[in-house]
A and B are shown apart, each in its own frame.
Chain A
Amino acid sequence: MRGHLILRVVSKLLIPFLLLFALYVQFHGDFGPGGGFQAGVIVAAAFVLYALIFGLREMQRIIPPAALEVAVPLGVLIYAGVGVLTWFLGGNFLDYGMLDSHDPSHGQHLGILLVEAGVLLTVASTMLLIFYTFAGRGR
């Protein structure tokens, strides 16, 4: 990818905004359309774009596949961990209202934020891992 100057410059310009947009979608999730799934896919798309332009090896140097293999279950653990935490606080599984002892709606805010963070992590790393797995196979 030495020669494609325009592609390289444009993608370098685009990637920060893609990531920013992903964060917007992520944190907008508890007020309107958005959330971890969509944000995760946008994050993954930004990285996939990087890999397409600068090569898979360069991408794997930045985020090694082994790290992704840990990130996928870690996201699930964050999600489920919130559920387990609410158990210990005396509520039902994933009963976010328990997270704040004063105001349940604050707890719900906090809960959905944590859960969506887990979803973001899992979805983004799953998507990227799928890309790695298919792109890494020679013919």
Chain B
Amino acid sequence: MEGLNELAFVLGGVNHWITVFLIMAGLYIIVSRSNMIKKLVGLSIFQTSVYLLYVSPGKIIGGTAPIISDDFAVYSNPLPHVLILTAIVVGVATLALGLALVVRINEAYGSIEEDEVYSDGDWN
């Protein structure tokens, strides 16, 4: 029975495990890569973890779409979805701005490798 409890713990929180994995994967890419585009990819993965974190608890097993009707009593919470719609828009805006900056950096420096950009010129 011990093992079963642990299995239930692992499977029951599977959405959280995936969230944690995405957080760590995103952060790892941001920290370990020096290519600016790859860093932005990492940033996007990191932000994606939030979407899962919010949306997955909103689903109620056996619940329907949140439409008011006499036939249904249990329905999923619509609020997380609306919040995450906003967060996705924010994520898109951040990614677009980040990419625009990288394009400009590439034009100004001729490189998008972070160690080359930051070692170039006097930063003091």
A residues in contact (CB < 8 Å) with B: 32-33, 37, 123, 130, 133-134, 137
Could you say which of B65, B85, B89, B103 contacts A134, with CB atoms under 8 Å apart? B103
Q: Check B67–A134 contact: CB distance below 8 A.
A: no
Main secondary structure of the interface of B (DSSP, over half): helix
CB distance from A8 to the nearest CB of B (A): 29
B residues in contact (CB < 8 Å) with A: 65, 67, 85, 89, 96, 99-100, 103
List, in ascending order, chain A residues with CB within 8 A of B85's CB. 37
List, in ascending order, chain A residues with CB within 8 A of B65's CB. 32-33
List, in ascending order, chain B residues with CB within 8 A of A133's CB. 100
Question: Can you give 12 contacting A-B residue pairs, CB < 8 Å?
Answer: A32-B65, A32-B67, A33-B65, A37-B85, A37-B89, A123-B89, A130-B96, A133-B100, A134-B99, A134-B100, A134-B103, A137-B103
Main secondary structure of the interface of A (DSSP, over half): helix
The docked-state distance in angstroms from the alpha carbon of A37 to that of B88 is: 10
List, in ascending order, chain A residues with CB within 8 A of B99's CB. 134
List, in ascending order, chain A residues with CB within 8 A of B100's CB. 133-134
The docked-state distance in angstroms from the alpha carbon of A137 to that of B96 is: 14
Q: Which residue of A lies closest to B89 (CB)?
A: A37
- Find the residue from B67, B85, B96, B99 having the highest chain A CB count within 10 A: B96
CB distance from A70 to the nearest CB of B (A): 19
